[in-house]
């Protein structure tokens, strides 16, 4: 059940135990099988993260299509949308810190949604995500934000199987992984249909191999 008021006011929803527990081992195995070095990606990645190619795995694809995830994505986007990308990420010991940032909408506010599917328990000790609730859409345009100001940050914590979905304009960032404890996740992107042509132009740069032609409508998940 979507808390629509909370979702639109705060720009995110954390779905506790959204992934069936008996899927987790298979998802972790897909992550490990897909790990490639940071230099092997079309655009080199930072050395303080592990990155995994997982978008052709059937179980990963099933997670991306869980009705609860599609319902939240559709509610935030507010029009027809598509599954654009999924990859695996994990911060290494002593790494993973990101400056607060917005991923940014492309054509209109709210046209992109990100989901983080946690495959391990997460919290401050292993670099969990931090967010600034309500920083996504204060009006018809984005308000300036001092990304060095962490006074409003909320540090998330929870268990494997949780899923965080948020508006791409929500201020967020990964944290340092001081302990080195595992924090594998799937990073999923959903986009409004108006972004499909530009999406096709960058498939190679983002190492996207999956078929992205499937279409979803918010009304299908009410």
Please determine, for residue 152, whether its predicted confidence score (pLDDT) is greater than 90: yes
Beta bridge partners of 164: 14, 116
The side-by-side arrangement of strands in the sheet containing 49-52 is: 12-15, 163-167, 112-118, 185-192, 81-91, 49-52, 35-36
Confidence of residue 141 (pLDDT cuts 50, 70, 90): confident
CA 25 and chain centroid, separation: 20
CA distance readout (Å), 114 to 87, 94, 149: 12, 25, 22
Complete domains list, the chain, with CATH: 4-220 (2.60.120.620)
**More confident: 44 or 32:** 32
Average pLDDT over the chain, rounded to an integer: 95
The answer to whether the beta carbons of residues 17 and 68 sit under 8 Å apart is: no
- Residue 138 confidence (pLDDT): 61
pTM value? 0.96
Backbone conformation region of residue 47, classed left if phi is above 0, alpha if psi is from -120 to 50, else beta = alpha
Q: What is the pLDDT of residues 44-80, one digit of tens each?
A: 998 999 999 999 999 999 999 999 999 999 999 999 9
Mean pLDDT of 120-142: 89
**Nearest CA to 12 among 166, 152, 154?**
166
Tell me the pLDDT tens digit for each residue of 95-126: 999 999 999 898 899 999 999 999 999 999 99
């Amino acid at each position: 059940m979507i808390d629509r008021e909370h979702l639109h006011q705060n720009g995110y929803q954390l779905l506790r135990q959204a992934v069936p527990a008996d899927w987790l081992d298979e998802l972790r195995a897909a992550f490990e099988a897909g790990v490639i070095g940071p230099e092997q990606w079309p655009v080199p990645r930072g050395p303080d993260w592990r990155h995994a190619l997982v978008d052709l795995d059937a179980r990963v694809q099933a997670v991306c299509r869980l009705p609860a995830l599609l319902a939240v994505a559709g509610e935030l986007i507010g029009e027809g949308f598509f599954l654009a990308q999924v990859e695996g990420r994990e911060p290494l010991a002593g790494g993973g810190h990101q400056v607060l940032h917005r991923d940014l909408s492309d054509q209109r506010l709210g046209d992109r949604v990100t989901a983080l599917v946690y495959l391990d328990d997460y919290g401050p000790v292993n670099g969990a995500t931090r967010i600034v609730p309500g920083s996504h859409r204060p009006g018809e345009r984005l308000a300036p934000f001092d990304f060095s100001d962490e006074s409003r940050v909320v540090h998330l914590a929870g268990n494997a199987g949780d899923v965080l979905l948020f508006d791409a304009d929500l201020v967020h960032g990964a944290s340092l992984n001081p302990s080195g404890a595992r924090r594998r996740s799937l990073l999923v992107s959903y986009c409004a249909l108006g972004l499909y042509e530009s999406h096709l132009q960058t498939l190679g740069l983002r190492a996207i191999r999956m078929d992205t032609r499937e279409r979803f409508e918010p009304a299908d998940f009410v």
